A and B are shown apart, each in its own frame.
Chain A
Amino acid sequence: MDRRKFLKTLGAGALATTALAAGCDNPNQTQAEGFALGEVPTDKMTYRTGTHGEKVSLLGFGFMRLPTVDPDDRQSDLDQEAINQLTDYAIAHGLNLFDTSPRYCQARSETSLGIALSRHKREDFLISTKLSNQSYDIWTREGSIKMFEESFEKLQVDYIDFYMLHCIGLPARDNEGNEIDPMKAFYGRFIDNGILDFLIEQRAKGRIRNLGFSYHGDVKVFDEALAMHDKVHWDHVLIQHNYINWQHAGALAEKRGTGDANSEYLYGELAKRDIPVFVMEPLLGGQLATLPKFAADELKQREPEQSLASWAFRFAGQQPRILTVLSGMTYMEHLQDNLRTMSPHKPLTDEELAMLRDIAVRYAGISLIPCTNCQYCMPCPYGLDIPTIFAHYNKMVNEGNVITDDLAEDAPAEERRAYRKARRAFLVGYNRAVVPERQADRCIGCGKCLPECPQQIDIPGKMLMIEEKSK
């Protein structure tokens, strides 16, 4: 063989290898959502009616996970051009509710939403934001009022349609790092400093049109807030609701404290008092758009053209007192897919509901970590990339690459092969997703993340578990 021939063969071999690698998709791969193509209707959006007669689109735009200029770097500048485009498109297709918080996207979300909406007529959209006074420093009346006023400036509006006490039901930490229980935190943040009364006044003055709260965690605080309904007259309440949370909120994974109550209970209590319901996490942080194979197959079997996410949105909008379903849509495709689902919303049949109930039972049996990638826990002082570690773990669970037991000494060859393959996928994928200095084994169990997590995940405990699996 001469040299030229050799080189040729070498080149051909390399090409073949690449082609082979490209063609070898993992048969167990997560079922990514697909999109039904065709026009997105502009005039078919389903609307529900709020306490004061507002016409609210059933799909609301959550401004928590906004596109950044560098998609791989969430710290990089928000991509305002893309955000404007998404906003324009949403409004053009009948979506009219935008939800934000002073806390979202490293405190850049309200400003960005303000810019995007300043280009539209005020009567074409509804704004929802929150009093996010979680840090102990701004529990004071002055600190909280300052945050309230800043929202008007950043959003460039003189009234806010929906205003909420952000995240009641979670514990907090004082400046010395001592944990404050959820009920005390609720009173400290909103009642003892007179902020709730202040907001009721503001509602009377018309600066805010609707007053409500968002809830995560200890259900006692939820009940306590609802007990104030006769005095406060809550106009709306934001809860986490999806076909897993409906009856399996507790079974998602073992949690610290109590975890969220089932949304079936929460919705029931609100409907009883005729309080309209805002829904968050209809996709459980995207997990219901990338389902385990068994669930994906079942849904695709029934509706091959519909995305996996569409089922979750149909479920989230099913109950009559649901006012709007908030979704953080980073990409145009997500927005289009969700607009299709809600234009108009097709209620699920009893048979379809039963199918989702079955999927929920099986899903709850898989121990996924219910992280929604909200980034509240970040940055971890010891450098861990908590949401990415959890995302990798969940992906591996969905793909069947998490190994529960060690390989038996006398395991048959086939089992050995499968074991090695899964181990390799888990470890190689882990190093790709997270650099070693930021992996689970670096957790020192300081617990600073614990009060931050709205899902009340036992983050250090999960880190230990993942460390064990990755040894």
Chain B
Amino acid sequence: MLRKIRIVLACLFFAAITLMFLDFTGTLHTYLGWMAKVQFLPAVLALNVGVVVVLVLLTLLVGRVYCSVICPMGVMQDCFGWLGGKVKKNRFHYAKNHWILRVVVLVVFVLLMVFGLGGIAILIAPYSAYGRIATNLFQPVYMWLNNLCAFFAERAGSYAFYSVDVWVKSGLLLLIAVVTFVVIGFLSFRWGRLWCNTICPVGTVLGFLSKFSLLKPRIDQSKCIGCKKCEKNCKSMCIDIDTHKVDYSRCVACMDCIDNCPVKAIRLTTGKAQPAPAPADQKVDSSRRKFVVTTAAVGGAMLLQAQETKVDGGLAVLEDKQLPERQIPLKPFGAVSLKHFANHCTACQLCVSACPQQVLRPSKSLTTLMQPEMQFDRGFCSPDCTRCSEVCPAGAIKKIDTAQKSAISIGHAVTVPQNCLLAQGETCNACSRHCPAAAISIVSDPSTGHSRVAVNESLCIGCGACEHYCPVRPFSAIYVEGREVHTAV
């Protein structure tokens, strides 16, 4: 029974978190945003004391249910583990704990975070690693599926679906996501929760706590018949029936052993009183609602192509915009400063997948690897959108409203007069017309006899509308340079 409850809850959590990453319309974030905020590492980084305390108490009460239910990486591994079990039954056996390895990894992880090399450390952070997989591997499939619906909707004269661009935001990140997916998938297929119990820093911390938790699956030696069904099916490989001991630092409270035991010798108890065994339900293992459905639906859509954009014959060729080399990268409104952002961001990609303007994308620089930065070739940071600040679970992008957003400057526009159309005597007002802060004016330039663009840096907020709308290609004649510390306007 407990196992079934665990599976149902895990499915719900996993589906909801995955949907949150998949959804590009922004409607689900309002309802599901909390699911990212209850993740352990983001909560720690956000100094979200409430969530951390609740998670710690939960673990002290019933063990690592966090790892079995809330953590999407854990649930994903259970999916692979379940597939592995289909191939080979009763494949596990007790293995000894690698305490030294676990502690060393944890210490290195913390040190890297503290010394500003979080970009590397977060490669093994469970929630954000899953986020990278969901955004890079699952979201494109979801979008293609959506585009297929849009294709039919268009032909049916319906406006219910609209087509979206599917593009690789960073090849490196895609590679990292694929590697993570394959490695962790393989590990869990073969050895269950091995990764959680050797590498995962959250697993190590919670594992330490769960040694002291109140309720644990305990073996009633008087009832145990030594069939080892529990041990052979323990994905954490932490039950040793020979000694009748369980290594609770590795137990993820999946309750499989409790439901598996043919003689009900394992029960979730405080270990103090031993009440008489109550008659329990007979059948085991009847409900198997897994995610094959999702995977199957998703796989079918892979085969379908994205709709090509219709291009009219008499159209001028538009060269792709090239990104300027910014001396200081642009971080979203609410990021406070480069330092604050780097220290809090887990690079889970939730903001990247949520950004409706396609402004946010993972950085390629080593120290802030995979953390989002802003580029304006596909859109600009619209003043009436605060979606990234709403979804960020780690407090890297602080929650702001549109009024606060309009009072923050994340950068300032810089002009490149020699590229500007005005310098060639053409008429153009694209940058000044689109500037939401009215920071750009067109002034006359007596030295050339033409007019030129002037930026009032005290008004500029760095939204990138000017850079985005500048008709000069491939390099815009005006672009945004970031600020180390975001300032008030």
Contacts and interface: CB of A to CB of B under 8 A. Distances in A.
A73 B312 CA distance: 5
Interface in A40-81: 68, 72-76
B297 A445 contact: no
7 contacts: A3-B288, A75-B312, A381-B316, A385-B315, A431-B162, A432-B163, A441-B434
A24 B158 CA distance: 7
Interface size class of B (residues with CB under 8 A): 35 or more
A24 B156 contact: yes
B315 A438 contact: yes
Contacts of B114: none
Interface string B156-169: 11111011000000
Contacts of B152: 18, 21-22
Interface string B306-344: 000111111111100000000000000000000000000
A383 B315 contact: yes
Nearest to B428: A444
A74 B158 CA distance: 26
Given A3-B293, A75-B312, 6 more contacts: A7-B296, A10-B297, A18-B152, A26-B157, A442-B430, A444-B471
Nearest to A437: B318
Given A3-B293, A21-B152, A444-B471, A382 B429 contact: no
Contact of A21 (B160, B310, B314, B429): B160
A431 B163 contact: yes
Interface in A443-458: 444-447
Given A73-B313, A76-B313, A21 B156 contact: yes
B313 A385 contact: no
Contacts of B158: 21, 24, 26
Interface of B: 149, 152-160, 162-163, 288-290, 292-293, 296-297, 309-318, 421, 426-430, 434, 469, 471
Contacts of A29: 157
A10 B310 CA distance: 32
Contact of B469 (A438, A441, A445, A447): A441
A444 B421 contact: yes
B312 A388 contact: yes
A425 interface: yes
Contacts of B430: 442, 444
A6 B296 CA distance: 12
Q: Taking chain B's interface residues, is the majority helix, strand, or loop, or is none over half, making it mixed?
A: loop
A381 B439 CA distance: 27
A424 to B, nearest CB: 5
Interface stretch (A126-134, A218-226, A322-330, A372-380): A372-380
B293 A378 contact: no
Interface of A: 1, 3, 6-7, 10, 17-18, 21-26, 29, 68, 72-76, 106, 375, 378-383, 385, 388, 424-425, 428-429, 431-432, 435, 437-438, 441-442, 444-447
Contacts of A379: 314-316
A379 B316 CA distance: 5
Contact of A383 (B155, B288, B316, B429): B316
A444 B429 contact: yes
Given A29-B157, A428-B162, A435-B309, A375 B316 contact: no
A446 B469 contact: no
A441 B316 CA distance: 16
B311 A444 contact: no
A168 B158 CA distance: 44
Contacts of A24: 156-158
Contact of A378 (B311, B314, B434): B314
A443 to B, nearest CB: 8
Contacts of A429: 159
A141 B159 CA distance: 55
A106 B162 contact: no
A446 B434 CA distance: 16
A382 B154 contact: no
Contact of B427 (A7, A22, A445): A445
**Which 9 A-B pairs rank lowest in CB-CB distance, beginning with the nearest?**
A75-B313, A74-B313, A378-B314, A444-B428, A379-B316, A22-B156, A383-B318, A428-B162, A428-B159
Nearest to A18: B152
Contacts of A437: 318
A378 B314 CA distance: 6
A10 B298 CA distance: 12
A76 B313 CA distance: 7
Contacts of A72: 310, 312
Contacts of A381: 316
A106 B309 contact: no
Given A428-B159, A431-B162, A441-B434, A446 B315 contact: no
Contacts of B309: 435
Residue of B156, B297, B310, B313 most packed against chain A (CB within 10 A): B313
A432 B428 CA distance: 27
A435 B163 CA distance: 11
Contacts of B149: 17, 21
Contact of A382 (B162, B290, B314, B316): B316
Given A73-B311, A73-B312, A442 B469 contact: yes
Residue of B315, B421, B471 most packed against chain A (CB within 10 A): B315
A134 B155 CA distance: 40
B144 to A, nearest CB: 15
A26 B296 CA distance: 34
A1 B290 CA distance: 12
